[in-house]
Amino acid sequence: MSISPDMRYPTSHKLFQTAKELIPGGVNSPVRAFRNVGGEPFFVRRAKGARIEDIDGKSYIDYIGTWGPAILGHAPMSVINAVHEAAKNGLSFGIPNVLEVEMAKMVTSWVPSVQKVRMTNSGTEATMSAIRLARGFTKRDKIIKFDGCYHGHSDSLLVAAGSGALTHGEPDSAGVPKSFAAETIVLPFNDRAAVEAAFSQWDGQIAALILEPYPANAGLILPQVGFLQFLREITAKNGTVLIFDEVMTGFRLGKAGVQGLENIMPDLSCFGKVIGGGLPVGAFGGRADIMDYLAPLGPVYQAGTLSGNPLAMVAGLTQLHELDKAGAYETLDQIGAYLQAGVEKILSAKGIPHRFNRVGSMFCMFFTDAEIINLDSVKTQDMELFRKLFWAMLDRGIYIAPSPYETGFLSLAHTHDDIDVTLDALEKSVAAL
């Protein structure tokens, strides 16, 4: 028997009714509306470590982590203290500050492909700017993206997108001119033949190929062996800028992200989330000869009043310094492996078809027997089973993404005890189904 929102979290229910009168859909980002699981969201009062607390006082073990940034856990004191001290000197300047340079030094030292970097205020700004830069550098118009990869909500990239757009059954957004979409070539992920055909059909016209190297906005999809290297080779051969969107994976899966794990050198990379420590941030960088096409040196314009603001910079720098300590990424991987082993044991024992994709502290569970290689295979999963499991877990104090098209995140604040509590909740939830 389902529990109504006014019974599950009455204060959140009342606040959501007010929010819907003032904010479109009652939320400031679509996936928060819980539409894909058929219910209403709760409102958060506070978050600390691996837990969040709603305004009705109920606590949850959180596997979203602000959709990725909270890799140390919520409200780590090192970051809180650093932001507090920085705020004493001013919240924003609109003038160069030393923290911007420190961030640039850290990014370029951690990511070998990045020779120069520019800060933005969001991942959407970073990918939008990288596309514009690639077009300006190559003097070409067309770009390639992959179905299921989400690169923010700018017009050129919101074509057959994943994440929030897919959740609501609208893979293309209203308001995107057909002429913009016509410049975006959308291909299936992991399909070499399709990529080769596109380069053949639009020979000499493709400015950039952009992708999440580990797509994480339609679940978590992993590239087949050699696929990323193939993309590196074909883009280099055709004079096309290869852009890795590592807004999610950058600094979460390792100091150099996916490109470090896979030993691939893209031409441009986009970052966000982890490098802001929970504050709004984005960045894009890469080869110096391409980056120098940006104003004020070059003809490609890009700007932002709050870009490189001191609070986001000090929060991100502090978080990166914490991750630089010995064993941080190994610990995250160990916690992830412990969770994966437990989940797979429970689901296998119950005979529930599933795929559990995980890399380090990122994971996604699919209720399907199909190998997950692209968006079409993601869509084979049992959506109704996911919906039932989401609510069963939430009622037992476990918060997973309210959409089967989202990736889960672990943090250094998650303990083995947290995982044990989660697995116990999963076992009870599965039994109740």
Q: Which residues pair with 363 in a beta bridge?
A: 358, 408
255 vs 41, 68, 252, 319, CA distance in Å?
34, 15, 7, 12
Q: Among 54, 62, 245, 267, which one carries the catalytic annotation?
A: 245
Distance CA 134, CA 290 (A): 8
Shortest CA distance to 124 belongs to which of 157, 153, 156, 159? 153
Local structure of residue 26 (DSSP, 8 states): G
In the residue annotation, 273 being an active-site residue is answered as yes
Of 9, 60, 63, 150, which residue is the catalytic one? 150
Q: Is 92 left (phi over 0), alpha (psi -120 to 50) or beta?
A: beta
Pull the structure tokens for residue 6.
């006014």
| Cα 86 to the center of its chain, rounded Å | 27
H-state helical runs in 271-412: 288-291, 310-323, 328-349, 375-378, 383-395
Indicate if 245 belongs to the active site: yes
Amino acid in the structure at residue 124: T
The CA distance from 282 to 280, in Å, is 7
| DSSP secondary structure code for residue 84 in this structure | H
> Whole-angstrom Cα distance, residue 291 to residue 300?
9
Place of tokens 């250094």: 412
242 phi and psi, to 5 degrees?
Answer: -90, 120
Annotated catalytic residue, options 142, 145, 273, 388: 273
- Active-site residue, 405 included: no
Could you list the active site residues? 150, 245, 273
